[in-house]
Structure 1
């Protein structure tokens, strides 16, 4: 590693950590001003607020804002180097712009790899405490209000409920059907189905059992207190507020696979987008680092302040595209993978055009 690489990398990491600390402290202060009334209303202690919530919130925003933090840090650092004529001195000594860009990309690659490990496996576990805190103290009580619930329980069993009360773990007007080879073999209907927590089974207090023979004959038996063992439990109907933030990449893959098997294809867009975002973020760090160096390496008449301001504008454009992508993925209007990678694709195109057109 050359002296130039060490010099730039040292400044790169110092500036990055300064920007991360500054941005996240600002975010936490703003968050506190919005939620202080809720903290007082719930009579929460300082330890509960700080250690159970804000420590985890800080970690969450460190990962979420990592591409933007890197971009702002790079723009800030490179603009300062340009204003002090250090970039001109480096280039006039026979060092190409590509070689000047190398240590920035080296640092971005290291940060990208670290970010991928954190957002893929470490930070989701920390986010669980944050989400539990928000559900307990900052959000209204959760009531499952979906109607006409259809789900595939296993390879041959399908379940329907007209409604479900998550407070007492009870479903209403339920039907369980067994279908094999496109033929209905058995159907169980009942006005209520309730979870028995002691036996970890579902129980129908009244039921009608229909069986269908291969020749079209049908029999019906009515009874009381039938126990039904299904591969689904009341956790399926729990509050899924920010669930995607609390799942590691392997857990996201398992959850998406499980929902597809249950036939809930329309409801997995936000989880697919969250998974692809975690793969896209490391590349976003590298792309935005290159863009930051390119747009701020030239000494301008407006000074470094103009370049830093432009960096903030581009950073918030990126954030806006990410937020829009999440909304579009949740609505199912576009493929979740495309919405997660679209900001990277757009900014990669902008970076490539600027690299080949701007004078260096």
Structure 2
């Protein structure tokens, strides 16, 4: 009896969730096409590029709105069970509310694993295609639009720091270059140049207006040359990564990228960490939202399914709003990214426990 019941609820859980996604994604595509079709025609975008963009669009937004789709689908079919008095019959037969939740937790586990794997490997590739299309065809500036190319600071090793006032990715040239070498708190030497040019053939750099000041105990040594070719520990392509670069990297590459940017003293480090932590927090939210949805919709209400859906929509959008607000705080404020990302799950986890206790009564 229980196995049949578990299969029945689990099937409804998964089918309703998939149906909800298949219903709303086409609506999102139609709205997006209506807003951007003129720009696509103006830029003469090939049909294959548009088709690939909307494939990436589907994956990108399904992942972005995953909590809302999951929450509303559970509210929908659980409310139908409650209105048909099926839940009352199940609990009246002696099955505990905790046992009744089992197929929901199994469904949440399946969705969580799927969301985790998507976030690790598939969503980054879709995000790259989505953002590249937008900035190449819809905004008009390509990746350069999303690069901060002025006043760039980098820590390139444990004790070496560089600065350039501006950088041109097309010519691969930077201006007002300086590099400082330290031993502990003591400056050992400083290199400056009016401009610095990257040479891709041999991966060297040409420094124009080269000056090197070596700090001595009693006096300094100064070397000045009109031009000098040298090798520097700088990855020219990573000098000004696009802001959304973290969203386009699989998990193993993202971890390596964050370590490299941390060593370089990147100003966008918190942005990258928020992306990393969300890969784990979003799948966990599936369990929290599942418990809240069941607790809210398992009770038969006088207003019927509409009341449950209204409550569900408010809670779902409150969760997404909270997730976005704290995500921005983690990127832009002094709030640690790890804490900022997990606060929504903590708050709504407490809400889930409270609602579950009331539902059991």
1:97-143 deviations in Å (ceiling 9; x for gaps): 11111101111011101111110122212322222222211223225
Instruction: Please give the secondary structure, in 2, of the residue aligned with 1:167.
Output: coil
TM-fit CA distance, 1:190: 1.3
Structure 1 residue 275, shift from structure 2 partner: 1.0
Q: Quick one: structure 1 residues 85 and 321, their matched pair in 2 at CA, closer, same or farther if it must change by over 3 Å?
A: same
- The whole-number CA distance in structure 1 between the counterparts of 2:257 and 2:160 is 19
Instruction: Give the Å deviation of 1:338.
Output: 1.3
Secondary structure at 1:2 match in 2: helix
Q: Give 1:206's match in structure 2, choosing from 209, 231, 235.
A: 209
Give 5+ residue unaligned stretches, structure 2: none
- 1:269 touches 1:332 (CA, 8 Å); kept in 2? no
The 5 A counterparts of 1:265-284 are 266-284=267-285
RMSD between aligned residues: 1.8
Q: Which residue of 2 aligns with 1:259?
A: 261
Pairing of 1:41-56 with structure 2 (within 5 A): 41-50=42-51, 52-56=52-56
Q: 1:312 to 1:123 in 2, by over 3 A?
A: same
Aligned pair count? Answer: 357
Contact 1:153 1:230 in 2 (8 A): no
> What is the Cα deviation at residue 209 of structure 1?
1.9
Q: Which residue matches 1:109? A: 109
Question: 19-28 vs 313-322, which deviates more?
Answer: 19-28
Residue by residue over 1:69-124, the C-alpha shift from the partner in whole angstroms, topping out at 9 and shown as x without a partner, is 11111100100111111111111111111111110111101110111111012221
Cα shift at 1:353: 0.8
**Residue of 190, 207, 214 corresponding to 1:187:** 190
Deviation at 1:18, TM superposition (A): 0.4
TM-score when scaled to structure 2?
0.93
Shift, 1:146, TM fit: 4.7
Find the aligned partners of 2:310 and 2:120 in 1 and give their Cα distance.
32
Mark the CA change 1:172 to 1:31 in structure 2 (over 3 Å): closer, same or farther.
same
What's the CA shift for 1:238? 4.3
Name the stretch that deviates more: 346-355 or 22-31: 22-31
Distance (Å, rounded) in 2 between the aligned partners of 1:83 and 1:188 = 76
Alpha carbons 2:243, 2:268 under 8 Å: kept: no
Cα–Cα, structure 1 residues 139 and 182, in superposed 2: closer, same or farther, change >3 Å?
same
| Aligned-pair CA distance for 1:27 | 2.1
Matched, 1:166 2:169: yes
Alignment of 1:229 onto 2:231: yes
Aligned to 1:349: 350
Matching of residue 6 in structure 1 with residue 4 in structure 2: no
1:239: Cα distance to partner?
Answer: 5.2
> Partner residue of 1:155?
158
Q: Describe the superposition over 1:193-215 as per-residue Cα deviations: whole angstroms up to 9, x where unpaired.
A: 111122222211221122233x3
> Hey, what's the Cα distance between the residues in 2 that align with 1:355 and 1:9?
19
Match of 1:240 in 2: 242
